Amino acid sequence: MTEQTGREQAAPEVRERIQASFDRQGLMRHLGARLIRIAPGSVHIALAARPEVTQQNGYFHAGATSAIADTAGGYAAFTLFPEGTSVLTVEYKINLLAPAEGDRIEAEGTVLRPGRTLTVCRLEVFAVRGDRRKLVAAGQQTLICVEGRPDQ
């Protein structure tokens, strides 16, 4: 995670916890996704274009798009959860707004409403080509803070 710049960053121990958890995710590793920003209530994930993450017409596959959106929202919520807890998605809905094509896609998860038990996040996915970004998916997600079961 080397691209984090600019706005507020999460505390080092939170960034460490999020990165360690992300590194244990087999699907993110399989897809080749990487964390590019961790801030309080906000996480961004990038996925580079490769044939393995596309569908038959060469666009990013909806499954890959949805997976990084779900993960970005989950970790956005997790940045606000106390130590010794874990995060699980309760539900999410995503609208695919346009074909996702470009050099990469970037998912941004942002906490809309934090809660003691349930947290709601906004999900956005952008297709990026050079310095141009296009919104290709948007959604919302609900996550649960699981107490007494630390993320390991």
Residues 6+ apart with CB under 8 A from 5: none
- In this prediction, residue 149 carries a pLDDT of 84
Backbone angles phi, psi at 18, to 5 degrees: -65, -45
Architecture of the 12-147 domain? Roll (3.10)
The domain ranges of the chain are 12-147
Q: How many beta carbons lie within 10 A of that of residue 20, not counting itself?
A: 11
Q: pLDDT tens, 60-87?
A: 999 999 999 999 999 999 999 999 999 9
- Provide the pLDDT confidence category of residue 148 given band limits of 50, 70 and 90: confident
Of 45, 116, 111, 112, the C-alpha closest to 85 is 116
pTM for the model = 0.93
Q: pLDDT tens, 94-145?
A: 999 999 999 999 999 999 999 999 999 999 999 999 999 999 999 999 999 9
